A and B are shown apart, each in its own frame.
Chain A
Amino acid sequence: MRRVSRAERADIRFTLNGRAVAAAAEPRMLLSDFLRDALGATGTHVGCEHGICGCCTVLIDGAACRACLTFAVQVEGRTVATVESLAEDGKLNKLQQAFQDHHALQCGFCTPGILMSFTDFLGRIPDPSESQVRDVLSGHLCRCTGYDGLIRAVLAAARHHRDEKAP
């Protein structure tokens, strides 16, 4: 049984983007704040801090989750992936490149969370319909209202992936 008292700064250890990380945190430290302030992984953005906007979406054991609705202590021993994990050898990955090609971001604040949501989603549903993409996108807010570009980008990334797989 794991027990951490409220005043205690516990040693929190998990795997972040393939590397073992550790830092101290009180039980009430949100994963979103822990990533940014304790670990310096500022790619994860903090918007509404109550699960509505989706900017802080990260992968926990591969599943897209709100970092602002998760305490750091809850991911002990787990695997967390953030937007910093996506680029390959300093180059944008296929999904990121599709975002650039299809004007899927304007100010970019919501982008990290949306990229992580679709990293999980396209892993499960590689050939989605537009309505499925819209449904997943409903879990995010883009205040620049760039939704059409986002939908085009995700569908293009899926198409690109499919064409590569084709014999």
Chain B
Amino acid sequence: MKPRPFDYLRPDTVEEALVALAEHGEGARILAGGQSLVAMLNFRLLEPLLLIDIARIAALDYIRVEGGALEVGAAVTQNRLLAYPGLGSEAPLLALALPWVGHFQTRNRGTVCGSLAHADPSAEIPLALAVLGGEVVLRSVRGERRVAATDFQAGMLATARAPDELLVAARFPLRADRRAAFRETARRHGDFAIVAVAAVVEPDGSVRLGVGGIADRPSVRRIEPRGAAAVAAAVNDFAWDLGGYDDMHASPRYRRDLLRRMGTAVIDEALQCAA
């Protein structure tokens, strides 16, 4: 398989990348780890005129705590974040979710921000960012803006990123209550999730439940843990509101059933784990 011919640009700075993006807009694609993009290029599902390789931009290769959030630059790979020593204490949900992202071999190159920009509806990193109430940082020659995760992902493989914008960082909020849980059902560990669920506990004792793989983007709902029957009813309402989609792996009905079973389990698990 061969992608269609494209021009290749490997800028050394963010500014050089932004100028190229401003010039080429929708004809250009950002290449970071390439673990989703190159497969799509090989199939010619995408035929960009220009690839802008940001993997060697040193200014995008950082993990730091800033302004109440764990900020991850666009050149950071998934395995690098997984190996970050503070991950378990600063973002326990990420420590639980990242091992489910692809395989060991794809996490070595795949980036955290690349997964967000790709916006697969069943992907784990967009789900974690949405449940945590995080945001992405978008930069262009026009300036910089921050967009909440729930506004950023606009649908199946679609985001609010303008054609001249570069997703430079993701911000995962640090939470006072560290209780979190994550579960996923897939045909094989490392494959795309059929349904993935994540839960974190809010300061008032309610639970933020997020689900991927059922709607065209991750969805989040606040659930009050007022007994097993009330939780089951609330998760059931959530499942019916989202509906679920049909593909070769699962029917909408099966996806709703997975959400009912895993959603209630992940809420219990989050509430019971040590704060």
Residues of A participating in the B interface, judged by any CB pair closer than 8 Å? 1-7, 26-28, 30, 49-51, 54, 57, 60, 63-66, 68-71, 73-74, 117, 120-121, 135-136, 138-139
Contact = CB atoms under 8 A, between A and B. Distances in A.
Contact of B108 (A27, A65, A74): A65
The main secondary structure of chain A at its interface with chain B is: mixed
B10 A1 contact: yes
Contact of B105 (A1, A2, A28, A64): A64
Nearest to A64: B105
A2 B8 CA distance: 8
B97 to A, nearest CB: 15
Interface stretch (B32-40, B64-72, B212-220, B248-256): B32-40
Categorize the interface residue count of chain B.
Answer: 35 or more
A69 B110 CA distance: 10
B16 A1 contact: yes
Nearest to B50: A6
A69 B8 contact: no
A1 B104 contact: no
A5 B34 CA distance: 19
A4 B7 contact: yes
A138 B2 contact: no
Given A3-B9, A28-B4, A71 B16 contact: no
Interface in B163-193: 188-190
> B12, B51, B105: which has the most chain A beta carbons within 10 Å?
B105
A73 B31 CA distance: 12
